[in-house]
A and B are shown apart, each in its own frame.
Chain A
């Protein structure tokens, strides 16, 4: 029996009837690998992602995580299991270490350094003022902070859109590394090139619905 999908969406609508962000969407995000959710602006990509950790809830329909309705899960527990990196890196006041402790106050120095290493930053960054990091460094610090909750899924909402090409390439590599380490990643992007570089699976959205979905090799070969 195949594993339950990472997330499944059954007739999901979000927003008032006259301004739906998602409109009766049906679809699945597969259990493993890196799934790219792509589509034009306003197609509902970020909304779909925010449903996965209950920062948004559907007006209609059901969202399931590994077969379980997310509405039945404790939202705080779900969010620690399904971590998220946002479009714009948002660091909190204080040092990078303080930022990691916001996710887990019990982290010792070695654990903090290990988290930074997974996010491609040296341990010396622990004492750096988080407000003074460059865009790319801040986004990697945010990734380390998200990893501090020991998530089983990583949601990444256009994480490179505010970064230069070099910093974006680093983050893409880190995304692939997470998948190699066994953490499925759902990556939202509006860039076809990025989708081609990253995706194992693709979900294309248009006007709040799934337009096409499947393994990247099939969808991309189809001109997706």
Chain B
């Protein structure tokens, strides 16, 4: 097949969706509608993205369009984080800074050190991969921070009552959140090649690229993602914790279902 998937082959791969539909009907999961919507929506989104990407990464298209795309990814990621972890006030801006900082650090390494050339075909996919992962760690960090502060409110207030400033009173919790946020990516990096073959490498190999070249690209990306996740988790945890205390060092009321205008 040499990596060429036509519309016919794509239709054949839908057999597996039919299997999922069959399971849903058989087990009365009532997920049929959601399954069909997700498949159709994913198909439509990716076809549109594919067509737009083809335009943007065309060597004749100005690079500014690729940068605009990257900015769009960062803003969309921040909006997603805010929607998923609404208890943190102003989380949109924290996530924007975290994802933006992560993308900048990633680009500095990827392009500044000459690992990849600065082109539309590298810029957009790398931003997608970095910001996609950092968005996930942003959500985990914010969500875990609210959950732990809420669960351990008594300990935090016991520390505040000793006259500790909010930064110090929340430090053990922030440390625990950082460990929780970073651990999955560290474990992923450890299991690389043993448990799973990551997406970029699999895609390159399927497209006919030499496996060793594919491995080198994947390794560079994995290290970028590890750095991205670390940066995002730290920026999110430190940014969010400041907004969960008042200026006079009181822990705000925390309800994980709180809807906040970020």
A residues neighboring B (CB under 8 Å): 53-57, 75-77, 79-80, 83-84, 86, 88, 90, 92-93, 102-103, 142, 145-146, 148-149
Contact = CB atoms under 8 A, between A and B. Distances in A.
A90 B158 contact: yes
A57 B253 CA distance: 12
A149 B248 contact: no
Contact of B160 (A55, A145, A146, A149): A55
A76 B250 contact: no
Contacts of B158: 86, 90, 92, 142
Contacts of A90: 154-155, 158
13 contacts: A54-B248, A55-B157, A55-B161, A75-B250, A79-B161, A80-B162, A80-B163, A83-B161, A86-B154, A92-B155, A92-B159, A102-B162, A103-B163
B164 interface: yes
B238 to A, nearest CB: 20
Contacts, number: 52
Please give me the 9 A-B residue pairs with the lowest Cβ-Cβ distance, nearest first: A80-B163, A90-B158, A84-B161, A79-B163, A75-B248, A76-B163, A103-B162, A90-B154, A90-B155
B157 A76 contact: no
Given A86-B154, A86-B158, 13 more contacts: A56-B250, A57-B248, A75-B248, A75-B250, A79-B161, A79-B163, A83-B162, A84-B161, A102-B162, A103-B162, A146-B162, A148-B162, A149-B163
B6 interface: no
Nearest to B152: A90
Contact of B249 (A76, A84, A92, A146): A76
Nearest to A103: B162
B250 A54 contact: yes
A93 B176 CA distance: 13
Most-contacted residue by chain B among A88, A90, A142 (CB, 10 A): A90
Nearest to A78: B163
A11 B123 CA distance: 61
A55 B248 CA distance: 9
Interface in B107-138: none
B172 interface: yes
B154 A102 contact: no
Contact of A86 (B157, B163, B248): B157
A79 B248 contact: no
A56 B206 CA distance: 61
B250 A55 contact: yes
Nearest to B161: A84
Interface of B: 154-155, 157-165, 172, 248-250
A222 B250 CA distance: 39
B237 to A, nearest CB: 19
Nearest to B163: A80
A53 B161 CA distance: 7
B157 A79 contact: no
B118 to A, nearest CB: 48
Nearest to A145: B162
Given A80-B163, A146-B162, A149-B163, A57 B154 contact: no
Nearest to B169: A102
A64 B35 CA distance: 62
A158 B248 CA distance: 25
A102 B171 CA distance: 12
Contacts of A102: 159, 162, 164
A56 B250 CA distance: 7
A121 B223 CA distance: 53
Contacts of A145: 162
Nearest to A93: B172
B172 to A, nearest CB: 7
Contacts of B160: 55, 79
